[in-house]
Every structure is written in structure tokens, then in C-alpha cells.
Amino acid sequence: MQNFINYLQSKNHTPKTQKAYLYSVNLFILWYKNELINCLKKDILKYLEYLQNNKHQQNITRKNALIALNHYFTFLYTNQLITQNPCLLINIRGTKKRSLYVIYTTEELNNLYDNYYNIFIKNYDNKRIPKNQQQQNYLSRQRNYIMLGLLIYQGLSTSELQNITIADVDLNKANIKITGSKKSNARTLPLNATQIGALLNYINNIRELFFKYCEPTDNLFCCLPESSKQKTNATNLMHIFKPLTKQVKSIDKKLENFKHIRASVITHWLKIDGLRKAQYKAGHRYISSTENYLPNNLDGLIDDITKFNPF
């Protein structure tokens, strides 16, 4: 099994995933009790039926077992230990949970960005904040405004905001580079005109003030310490999104989460730019990931129904 572990490592699977796959494969081997070279598609189907009827596993659990077995038999096939992968073309239905959102219009997204500026930047009453917390509060609102712009105009996920550096922002060309990850592709996206002035101010005047409270970093966005701390060396931004969500929800109660914004942006890209260009802008590795957003485009569906309805 060590060679299989090495194979999984070469595919950049985490130790936790490797352990889960090994566990699933060993369970199958105990059940099968034969030479794996003789394993056929019907044997895999029987095993999946066994998991459902005898182990009472749900579809999503059986799908995870199938994924593990597919990796294992792919490994065996790659190393010429078997002549075919018996897991190919087997699919378990009823495992996808697709979230449909009431899509924000482009105007509504613009208003969300503008209203945040008016309420939390331009007209914010800082006097209600304790004096010793006023500067940190000011800095967090300035940073959050820039983050919100990248969520609204570039359709970024919250995890992508974590990896943006100063070097990724090119104000001369009015674009921003998004680094790829294990789950997403790199891409370069244009900045909206309304973002450029705010980014210029943030980079030249605001960001440097953060280093009074945190260690210097190349990251575009910096953390602030908890009230009990003098300075922080934290770099993970995820705790920032809860208060930012609360701020944005105070502007628009319809907002479910930041995935709601991303779904709206990608849906508009699909409508205006088409599938392939939307895939690039969203950073999706697979076209199927972009296709998952097609059901959100209810306007197009309603238009088609109206157009072709004989009544």
C-alpha cells in the first residue's frame, strides 16, 4: 500500500484524504476476497449494493467509497498491474446538492458596494467606538471595503482573498492577478473603475498603518489583533468574514452569504460572456463547475418560456 500512498501524494491529496482512501480500499479488499486482477464492473456494482443494503450507507458515502476505489484501480492500471479499471463509467446519482440563489442584478451589486461606502466609510460615526479602538476599527472598515469590491466585481471566493499580494495588483493596467490553487486556476481580471481610486488610497495610505498592529507582509490584506493583544502575527483572514457578512447584511437582508454574491457574478458572466469565458473568469478547473451555475440564470429560462409558449 505504500506505493498507493506515494501515488496519492503525487496527486497532492492531503494526509487526511490519503487515510480515508486507504480505509475505503481496505474495506473493499476484505469484502472482495479475490485477486484484484479479476475484479470487474459487476463486482464494484455488487459492492456498492452491499454498502447500501447491508451497511445502510447513503449515496454520498457510497460515492466517496467509489472515488477511493477509482483512485486505487487507476493506480493499479497505471502500473500495469491490471488491464482495465472496473470503476470507469459508474456513477451514483442523487449526491449533488446544488444551491440556487435569487440572483442579484448588476445594479443591485453596484448599490451594495456604494451603500457600504456611504454607511461604513463616508458617513460612519467613529465617535461611538472606544477611543483606543477607533484606529483599528477605521482600518478594518477600509480593508473590508476593498475586499467587498473584489467579491462583487471580480467574483472571488473568500479563500482567494487570502493569497492576493501587493505585486498581484497592477493599477496602471487596471487589473489584478489571482493565484491558482489545488481547486482553482490562475487568471488575470480587470478592475472596475470604481475600485481603482479606493485601491490606490488603500495601498498608498491605509495598508501601511496595519503594520503598527501586525507583522509586515506582502499580502494585500492584513489582520488586526484581538482587543487583548498589542500586536498579531496572524495571517489567516477567515475570521474577518463573519463581521464583514454582518455589515453587508445590515445593508441588504436578502444576502445569504458571500457565495450568494459569487453565484450572482458568475451567472451574469454566463449570460454576457458565455460558458468558456465565464469558466476562465471564475477560475474553474472544470467546465462542469461553471455549468452548475446555469440553473441560477432563471431570467433566460423565463424569457424562453415566454417566447415559445403558444398561449
- Residue type (1 letter), 267: T
| 10 found inside a domain | yes
Residue 259: per-residue pLDDT: 93
CATH number at residue 220: 1.10.443.10
Residue 100 domain-assigned (yes or no): no
C-alpha to C-alpha distances, 262 to 156, 165, 239, nearest whole angstrom: 7, 21, 19
When divided into structural domains, the chain yields a total of 2
Task: Decide which of 78, 98, 125 is a domain's last residue.
Answer: 78
In a domain, 94, yes or no: no
**Domain check: are 144 and 280 in the same one?**
yes
In the chain, DSSP finds a helix count (H) and a strand count (E) of: 13, 3
Q: b/e string for 7-45 if b means 16 or more Cβ within 10 A? A: bbeeeebeeeebebbbebbebbeeeeeeebeebeeebbe
Q: Are 183 and 242 in the same domain?
A: yes
In a domain, 146, yes or no: yes
Whether 163 and 205 share a structural domain: yes
Residue range of the domain that includes 219: 106-302
Q: Coil, helix or strand for 78?
A: helix
Q: 28 with 39: CB under 8 angstroms?
A: no
Beta-bridged to residue 169, according to DSSP, are 176
| 124 and 39 in a common domain | no
Looking at the structure, tell me whether residues 111 and 71 fall in a common domain: no
- Regarding whether 156 and 17 lie in a shared domain, the answer is no
Reported confidence tier of residue 306, pLDDT bands at 50, 70, 90: very low
A 10 A CB-CB count for 59 gives 14
Write the Ramachandran bin of 262: left for phi over 0, alpha for psi from -120 to 50, otherwise beta: alpha
Question: Could you tell me the CATH number of the domain that includes residue 39?
Answer: 1.10.150.130
CA angle 234, 250, 111 (to 5 degrees): 100
Instruction: Report yes or no on 258 lying in a domain.
Output: yes
Give a yes or no: residue 294 inside a domain. yes
Asked whether residue 11 falls in the same domain as residue 49, the answer is yes
- The answer to pTM > 0.75 is no
Residues 190, 57 within the same domain: no
**Phi, psi for 175 (deg, rounded to 5):** -145, 170
Query: pLDDT digit string (tens) for 1-23?
Result: 899 999 999 988 888 899 999 99
Higher pLDDT, 296 or 50: 50
Please indicate, yes or no, if residue 311 is contained in any of the structural domains. Answer: no
Query: How crowded is residue 78: how many other Cβ atoms within 10 Å of its Cβ?
Result: 11
Whether 173 is in a domain gets the answer yes
Same-domain pairing of 133 and 276 = yes
The answer on 268 and 157 residing in a single domain is yes
Using the 8-state DSSP alphabet, how is residue 120 labeled? I
Higher pLDDT, 170 or 300: 170
Q: What is the pLDDT of residues 34-75, one digit of tens each?
A: 999 999 999 999 999 999 999 988 888 999 999 999 999 999
Sequence-distant (6+) residues with CB within 8 A of 233 are: 214, 215
* pLDDT on residue 94: 59
* Banded pLDDT at 99 (limits 50, 70, 90): low
